[in-house]
A and B are shown apart, each in its own frame.
Chain A
Amino acid sequence: MDKMPRWADVALIPFINLVLALAVSALVVLYIGESPVEALQVMIRGSVGSAYGWGFTLYYATNFIFTGLGVAVAFHARMFNIGGEGQAALGGLGVAMVSLYIPWPHWSLALLGATIGAAIFGAAWAAIPAYLQAKRGSHIVITTIMFNFIASALLVYLLVNVFRVPGNMAPETARFAEGARLPNAYDVAPWLGFSRSTPLNVSFFVAVAACIGVWLMIWRTRLGYEIRAYGFSEPGAVYAGINPVRIIMISMLVSGGLSGLMAINSVMGEAERLVIDPVQGAGFVGIAVALMGRSHPVGVFLAALLFGMLYQGGAELEFEMPAVSREMLLVIQALVILFTGALDNMVRTPVARVFLSLRRERA
């Protein structure tokens, strides 16, 4: 018998985790002398109370969907890929090169090209840690996090020495040409009330497609079957003739590729140039998103939406409540990550116990 019904596993526990995180956050807000209720209202209104807010919320969510899916795919193979940050940065490099050096006639073709470029660069960045893990047993957590630093340094070097436009002080590439700029939500659906400068763009649809694709791959293909089998039991996989090296490589390549795709949203869809830090922590948020979403694409989508709200709502809160500083917001976001990701079992065990005793009373 399972310990608890499925709905409790996928919905109730994340909800309790979130409430706990908000409760502790409320204490923090109280401590600085502001009203937690008001703060929550500001955050909700700011993130989903207007088309303007939705534009930012969904833009952030798009980033988190990509990095969250990346982490989730690796999780299915029991690989803890915390290199989303670096893989997404390299994805940005791929997007920039595709967008700058190829004269695209239309954005749709550019999007296709950028998608391929981002995925290849992100996957390539994951390939080295994956190879070291598969062949040499170097722990993937250590190597991927070190590759984040290398990616960051590499990007700085390239932006300063290779891509910087002569005469420009900022370490960033030139703005992409017209054919490589993605339509934003205003271009696609102006009647929804998005502003002309909303960051939400067509990459959101790519993210939704990626969710569906990941779901199909994990639960409908032989590759997904083998990845899950390997993730649950390596000796089992070897018994069944599933090659662990192959599974580690493929799952990490897919994972890195998905993280890399994040760049089409931030680099191509929003900034329209490659800047010095195109990822802005989304790689790490992806870990929390995958944990909270239980590595399921639907869960990842919902968790990404939640973190999008947190980001956008937090920015509004900072604006409307001057007492709430940037650091304070980081604390609140960190609390959500802590409760939904790291402290999951703290809630899970007691809830499972409650369900067991409920069931016994019924029996």
Chain B
Amino acid sequence: MADKSELLQGTLDLLVLRVLNGGPLHGFAIAQKIHVLSRQALEVEEGSLYPALYRMERKGWIEAEWGVSENNRKAKFYALTKAGRRQLATEQDAWARLAAAIGAVLREAD
């Protein structure tokens, strides 16, 4: 629990979209998956997750449907839309460019 990283501003959308690329998930599972995939480094706050989900739903990147979770509870599942997939590609590109740029600066600044 000690070395948790703060989520960089604006990256939550990218992570959620990327995670949903694998298939529909409910809110808890999204947070869980990001947590696991980041090797416990990233903790998604519920207070940010849900507003982000609703915002992305409004923008039409994801759509929600009620279903039944793995432990037989009613849950709302989010899935990527076509627009969401396009958005994911754009954001992934942007992230890659940013990461490369920052990496380059860090490596060669001396």
Do chains A and B interact in one complex? Answer: no
* Chain A residues at the B interface, C-beta cutoff of 8 Å: none
* Chain B residues at the A interface, C-beta cutoff of 8 Å: none
